[in-house]
Chain A
Amino acid sequence: MTADTESISVPHERISLMRDPHTRGLVIQILMIIAILAFASWLVNNTVQNLASARIASGFGFLSARAGFDIGQAPIAYTSNSTYGRALFVGFVNTVIVAACGIVLATIVGFLIGIGRLSRNYLLRALSTIYVETFRNIPPLLVILFWYFGVLSVLPLPRNAVELPFGSYLSNRGLQTPAAVFEQAALLTLAAFAFGIAATVFLVRQNRKRQLETGERRPILWLSVGLIIGLPLLVFVATGSPVTFELPTATRFNLVGGWQIKPEFLSLFLALSFYTAAFIAEIVRAGIVAVSKGQTEAASALGLTRGQSLRLVIVPQAFRVIIPPLTSQYLNLTKNSSLGLAVGYPDLVAVGSTVLNQTGQSVEVVAVWMVVYLGLSVATAAFMNWFNARMALVER
Chain B
Amino acid sequence: MEEQVAFYVARGQEPSLPPPRSEVGLPATLRKNLFATPLDSVITVALGLFAAWAAWNLIEWGLLRAVFTGADREACLLPGGGEIGACWAFVNAKLGQFIYGRYPLDERWRVDLAFLLLVLLTIPLAIPRAPYKRLNALLLGIAFPVVALVLLTGGEIGVSGGWVAFLFTLAAFVSAAFAGGSSGARPALLKAAMGLAAVSLLVLLIAAAIRSGRFDLLGFEFSTLSLLAFLLALASVAASLFAGRTGGESSAGAGRVLMPPLVTAVLVAALSVDFGLQPVPTNLWGGLLVTLVVALTGIAASLPLGILLALGRRSHLPAVRLFSIIFIEFWRGVPLITVLFMSAFMIPLFLPDGVSFNQLLRALIGVAIFSAAYMAEVIRGGLQAIPKGQYEGAQALGLSYWQMMRLVIMPQAIKLVIPGIVNTFIGLFKDTSLVYIIGLADLLGTVRRGFSDPNWITPSTAATGLIFAAFVYWLFCFGMSRYSMFMERRLETGHKR
Contacts and interface: CB of A to CB of B under 8 A. Distances in A.
Contacts of A32: 319-320, 323
Contacts of B470: 138, 142, 146
B34 A149 contact: no
A154 B462 contact: yes
B430 A123 contact: no
Contact of A339 (B317, B337, B481): B337
Interface string B324-344: 000000101111111001100
Q: Is the interface of A mostly helix, strand, loop or mixed?
A: helix
B459 interface: yes
B466 A149 contact: yes
A140 B433 CA distance: 9
Contact of A341 (B317, B330, B337, B460): B337
Interface residues of B, number: 59
Interface string A119-145: 011111001000001101111111001
Given A342-B437, A353-B341, A141 B444 contact: yes
B334 A142 contact: no
B357 interface: no
A356 B335 CA distance: 17
Contact of B462 (A121, A124, A150, A370): A150
B7 interface: no
Contacts of A341: 337, 437
A29 interface: yes
Interface in A243-266: none
Nearest to B330: A374
A124 B426 CA distance: 26
Contacts of B351: 46, 50
A373 B437 contact: no
Contact of A137 (B34, B319, B473): B473
Interface string B226-240: 000000000000000
B463 A151 contact: yes
Contact of A127 (B47, B316, B467, B478): B47
B448 A145 contact: yes
A220 interface: no
B335 A123 contact: no
Contacts of A160: none
Contact of B338 (A51, A366, A378): A366
Interface string A345-356: 000010001001
How large, as a class, is the contact surface on chain A?
Answer: 35 or more
A122 B35 CA distance: 10
A380 B48 CA distance: 40
Given A50-B353, A146-B470, A369-B338, A42 B430 contact: no
Contacts of A38: 209
Given A33-B319, A120-B36, A124-B47, A133 B338 contact: no
A336 interface: yes
A246 to B, nearest CB: 32
A88 B474 CA distance: 36
B66 interface: no
A33 B323 CA distance: 9
B36 A121 contact: yes
B434 A137 contact: no
A121 B426 CA distance: 30
A121 B349 contact: no
A123 B47 contact: yes
30 contacts: A29-B317, A32-B323, A33-B319, A42-B209, A50-B349, A120-B36, A121-B34, A123-B34, A123-B48, A123-B51, A124-B43, A124-B44, A137-B430, A138-B473, A139-B431, A146-B462, A149-B462, A150-B467, A154-B459, A154-B460, A154-B462, A335-B336, A338-B337, A338-B338, A339-B337, A339-B434, A349-B335, A362-B341, A366-B342, A374-B333
| The 10 nearest A-B residue pairs measured at CB | A150-B463, A137-B477, A149-B462, A335-B335, A362-B345, A29-B319, A122-B33, A139-B433, A139-B430, A377-B333
Interface of A: 25, 28-29, 32-33, 36, 38, 42-43, 46-47, 49-51, 53, 120-124, 127, 133-134, 136-142, 145-146, 149-151, 153-154, 335-336, 338-339, 341-342, 349, 353, 356, 362-363, 366, 369-370, 373-374, 377-378
